[in-house]
Amino acid sequence: MKKIITSLLVGCFFLPVTVHAQFETFKDSVVQLYGIVMTADSLKGLESVSVVVKGQNRGTITNERGVFSIVVLKGDVVEFTSIGFKPKSITIPKNLEGNAHSVIQLMVNDTIYLPATIIKARPTREQFERDFVNTKIPDDEITIARKNNDVASRRILVSNLPVDGREASNRYLKQLSNKAYYAGQTPPQNIFNPLAWAEFIKAWKRGDFKKKN
C-alpha cells in the first residue's frame, strides 16, 4: 500500500513537469505564416489564391490585395494554387527561430495552348440556301431498311448467299419427287414447254446467266 501511495505521489509530482515540457515544445513549433501572393510578371496582388497545408484539411485564401495569414507547424509544406497559374509550394524550416515567418510568393502564368480557330464571315442568305439544299442528310433506319429490301438488293443477296438447311432439304425432296413421278417413263423435255421458255427469257433479262466475278 505504501508503494502505491509513493508511486502516485511521484507521478503527481512529475506529471505537471512533463505536460509543461510537451506544451512548451508544441508552442515552440507553432508558426504564424503570413505574406502576400503576387504575379511574377507585374507584381500585382493576386486575389483568392488557395493557401493549404499539404496533407491536412486546413487552409485559407488571399484577400483582394493578395495578403494571407495562417497558423502552421515547423516542417509543414504549404501549397499555393490558383486557376491560370502554376502551383507553388514552400516548406517551413524546422530550425526556424521564433514563431513567425513571412513570405512573398510569386505565381507564374500557366500557359495553355488551344487548337487554332478559323473565323469566317457570316454567309449570305443565298449561300445559306445553297448549302442547305445541297447538304446530304444521312439516311435514317427506315430508309436504310427500304434500300436493303428493294428488288435489286434481294436479287444480289439471293444470288450470293448460300442456301440454308431448309432450302437444301426442300430441293432434294423435290428432286426425289420428280424421279418418283416419272419412274418407268421418259421425263418430258421443257424445250417444248412455253412456260419454261417464259421463265428462261425472264432470267436472261435479269442477267442470271452473266458471269460473276
Q: What is the tens place of the pLDDT at every residue in 163-202? A: 778 888 888 888 888 788 877 777 777 777 777 788 888 8
- Coil, strand or helix at 58: coil
pLDDT at 2: 53
**Rounded to an integer, what distance in angstroms lies between the CA atom of residue 61 and that of residue 50?**
5
**Rounded to an integer, what distance in angstroms lies between the CA atom of residue 105 and that of residue 70?**
14
pLDDT at 158: 75
CB of 39 closer than 8 Å to CB of 106: yes
Element (H, E) at 18: helix 2-29
Q: What is the tens place of the pLDDT at every residue in 96-107? A: 888 899 999 999
Indicate the residue type of 194.
Answer: P
Task: Kindly list the structural domains of the chain, giving each domain's residue range(s) and its CATH number in brackets, ordered by start.
Answer: 30-113 (2.60.40.1120), 125-206 (no CATH)
Indicate the residue type of 118.
Answer: I
**Rounded to an integer, what distance in angstroms lies between the CA atom of residue 174 and that of residue 64?**
95
pLDDT at 46: 94
CB of 109 closer than 8 Å to CB of 41: yes
The answer to whether the predicted template modeling score (pTM) of the entire model surpasses 0.85 is: no
CB of 38 closer than 8 Å to CB of 62: no
| Residue that is written with C-alpha cell 502554376 in the block | 86
> How high is the mean pLDDT in each 10-residue block of the chain (213 residues)?
53 48 59 94 93 92 94 93 93 89 93 82 87 86 84 79 81 84 75 78 78 59
CB of 59 closer than 8 Å to CB of 53: yes
